[in-house]
Amino acid sequence: MDYVERVLQTVKEKNPAQDEFIQAVTEVLNSLRPVIEANPQFEKVALLERLTIPERIVTFRVPWVDDKGNVQVNTGYRVQFNSAIGPYKGGLRLHPSVNLGIIKFLGFEQIFKNSLTGLPIGGGKGGSDFDPKGKSDNEVMAFCQSFMTELYRHIGADTDVPAGDIGVGAREIGFLYGQYKRLTGLYEGVLTGKGLTYGGSLARKEATGYGLVYFLDEMMKAKKDKIKGKTVVISGSGNVAIYACEKVQALGGKVVALSDSNGWVYDKDGINLDVVKDIKEVKRGRIKEYAEVCKSAEYHEGKGIWTVKCDVALPCATQNELLIDDAKALVANGCKYVAEGANMPTSLDATEYLQENGVAFAPGKASNAGGVATSALEMSQNSMRLAWTFEEVDEKLHNIMIGIHKSAYDYAKEYGFEGNYVVGANIAGFMKVADAMMAQGVV
């Protein structure tokens, strides 16, 4: 049994029932084999063992009172996974499916993603099994204040800087920031994704979706292809999906489908994004309502969005939403590009199937890194006490995505896996973290 296999075995034994975490570690470690074999010094200092155990996990009780006066209790998490290259950085997820295994998988992925951006940020993630859907603003505020009443002890502008993720947008970040400031008296860049009037960065809201499409554009250019004229299917209709759709349309692509956790819409004339923004960003409604407004669209309940014929598929909802049968349907319909906007939306077997069938595949840790990269730009602006224009931030984001594509492409080529962005991104992200960990000794 080689070193990678032994570490994987231990991770499986020590983390029972954390399927998503095991899945993420398996994908990363398997693709690191060539570098691990070429660098026996990593094994001598138990680098992989240290890399797969978080530096710290905080789990806490989050009690709050709902509008009817009933006491509700949720569980809060913050996983501070790796600080070798900078303060922990990663979003907070509020969704009923949240558990420790999911937060650990997200935190683990974040280490390599953050490294890939080229910026000095370590890996972390947090959240709670609280469901903001259907809650009043008052209830969301009560939850956020209670959550921060414990979390504030563990975070800070130079130690750990959380951000948004599923279920955490501008409203939640505002409530969390207000409570942090009240508890600590500090006006500091402790959260990113803040509102523009209190330290937020222009283009942060758009960053993950735009960045995804900048990465896709580079991947297509490498094949002498372009987005213009392509048919695109995007899952989800949240922050990432909406701004991916906006950038695809700006570059001349046609987005024909979007979804949420209830179902999906197909619009043969192309998605009208103003309608989607009104439903999702203003009314906090369901994607079903799109078909009631746009008569060219049809609504389908449940899964099935990947059966829509397209050239490009952008999964932007959640983990394990594109499975082997979905991959088969995409290939059968002639899809040529899959780029992940969500974290680990594609299962391991589906990823392999896509790659074996000539689909160019971009893993989320590379293609959705624009969000955290722009969060790091928000941190820079907060430290410098100044604000860049939209164009300045967008240009930096674009250059960062070009850089991520190049390093993933080049590393894959160097190790004999040309065009395999999974291997390239994992190695590129890992090398910087490994180097920093080696330099800092056994800690």
Residue 292 tokens, joined: 């009631």
Among positions 343, 351, 407, 420, the unique one binding ligand NDP when judged by CB under 6 A: 343
Q: Residue 44 Cβ, how far from ligand NDP at the closest point, in Å?
A: 34
Residue 240 contacts ligand NDP per CB under 6 A: yes
Residue 101 contacts ligand NDP per CB under 6 A: no
Q: Residue 323 Cβ, how far from ligand NDP at the closest point, in Å?
A: 12
Residue 346 contacts ligand NDP per CB under 6 A: no
Which DSSP letter does residue 416 get? Answer: T
Q: Residue 297 Cβ, how far from ligand NDP at the closest point, in Å?
A: 16
Residue 394 contacts ligand NDP per CB under 6 A: no
Residue 164 contacts ligand NDP per CB under 6 A: yes
Residue 378 contacts ligand NDP per CB under 6 A: no
Nearest to ligand NDP of 29, 92 (CB atom): 92
Nearest to ligand NDP of 133, 226 (CB atom): 133
Residue 311 contacts ligand NDP per CB under 6 A: no
Residue 347 contacts ligand NDP per CB under 6 A: no
Residue nearest to ligand NDP (CB): 238
Residue 342 contacts ligand NDP per CB under 6 A: yes
Among positions 51, 85, 316, 427, the unique one binding ligand NDP when judged by CB under 6 A: 316
Q: Residue 96 Cβ, how far from ligand NDP at the closest point, in Å?
A: 9
* Interaction residues for ligand NDP, span 255-284 (CB under 6 A): 260-262
Nearest to ligand NDP of 7, 394 (CB atom): 394
Residue 145 contacts ligand NDP per CB under 6 A: no
Q: Binding mask 198-237 vs ligand NDP (x if CB under 6 A, - otherwise)?
A: ----------x---------------------------xx
How far is residue 422's CA from residue 420's CA, in Å, rounded to a whole number?
Answer: 6
Among positions 101, 174, 200, 238, the unique one binding ligand NDP when judged by CB under 6 A: 238
How far is residue 139's CA from residue 411's CA, in Å, rounded to a whole number?
Answer: 47
Under rule CB under 6 A, how many of the chain's residues touch ligand NDP?
Answer: 24
How far is residue 239's CA from residue 205's CA, in Å, rounded to a whole number?
Answer: 7
Residue 119 contacts ligand NDP per CB under 6 A: no
Residue 239 contacts ligand NDP per CB under 6 A: yes
How far is residue 220's CA from residue 42's CA, in Å, rounded to a whole number?
Answer: 35
Residue 351 tokens, joined: 């990823």
Please classify residue 271 by burial: count the beta carbons closer than 10 Å to its beta carbon, then call 0-12 exposed, 13-18 middle and 19+ buried: buried
Stretch that binds ligand NDP, among 39-47, 164-172, 249-257, 330-338 (CB under 6 A): 164-172
How far is residue 130's CA from residue 95's CA, in Å, rounded to a whole number?
Answer: 6
Known catalytic residues? 125
Which residues contact ligand NDP by CB under 6 A?
A: 97, 164-167, 208, 236-241, 260-262, 316-318, 321, 341-343, 368, 371
